[in-house]
Each structure stands twice: as C-alpha cells, then as structure tokens.
Amino acid sequence: MSLTPEECRIAITSRREYYEAELETKGRWVNGCRHHDGKTHKCHDSPAIRVAGGSRKKNSPIPVHRIAFILKYGFIPNKWYVRRTCENRYCTNPNHLQLSMASSIMTIG
Ligand SMILES: [Zn+2]
C-alpha cells in the first residue's frame, strides 16, 4: 500500500530540508542532468527514497524524480505521473521533469 498523492505531498513538504539534502548530497551534475546515485528500489526502475507518512505510518519508496517534482512544484495531481524529458531514469533536475498522462503531456513552469 503506497501513500496517496496528498500523504506524499504532506510527508515531503513537511521535511523539505531533509529531502533537498538527500537529492543534493547523492546527486551529481552530468550533461545538465542531476544524476542521483542513491539506491534503486525493486519496485521502481529508478532510485527511490523511503517516505514515511499517512495515517498508518506507511513507509513507501518514492522515486526520486517524483520527490524532486514535489519539492519544486508542491504536489503531483492524482493519477498523473512525472515524466523526464531527458529520458535519464536517474535524473532529478526539476527542469527536466514534467507532468504526463497516458495520452497527453502538460508542460509546467
Ligand atoms: Zn535530466
């Protein structure tokens, strides 16, 4: 059971400094991408950080690009996912992230 988008938003924005530091210390800049060197969780094809939150104290691995998106834009709307325009699955550069649905792409910022 993963966190709902709202639980995710609250968990991450309430510990903003912690997640910003995680992305900063484990990130290195390569050709415009911020390449994240953290652990890749088996549920995702990209690195993830465990985020604790929600009423049952669920602790879910959230892919780092989703965390980076929330830190920059505040939240991810329900049912949307975050697409990397650079197609680098390790990238957390907010400028390379945009919201996406299956059939449409919405540019942010
Ligand atoms: Zn990138």
What does the block give as tokens for 1? Answer: 């059971």
Segment among 28-32, 35-39, 52-56, 91-95 with least mean pLDDT = 52-56
The alpha carbon of 55 and the centre of ligand 1 are apart by a number of angstroms equal to: 34
The alpha carbon of 92 and the centre of ligand 1 are apart by a number of angstroms equal to: 7
pLDDT reading at 101 higher than 60: yes
The alpha carbon of 25 and the centre of ligand 1 are apart by a number of angstroms equal to: 17
Q: What is the pTM of this model?
A: 0.86
Architecture of the domain spanning 5-106 = Alpha-Beta Complex (3.90)
The alpha carbon of 63 and the centre of ligand 1 are apart by a number of angstroms equal to: 14
Domain ranges, ordered by start, for the chain:
5-106
pLDDT in tens, 63-93: 999 999 999 999 998 888 899 999 999 999 9
The alpha carbon of 57 and the centre of ligand 1 are apart by a number of angstroms equal to: 32
Region of residue 82 (left: phi > 0; alpha: psi -120 to 50; beta: else): beta
The neighbour count for residue 49, using CB atoms within 10 Å, is 21
- Share of residues in the chain with pLDDT > 70 (%): 89
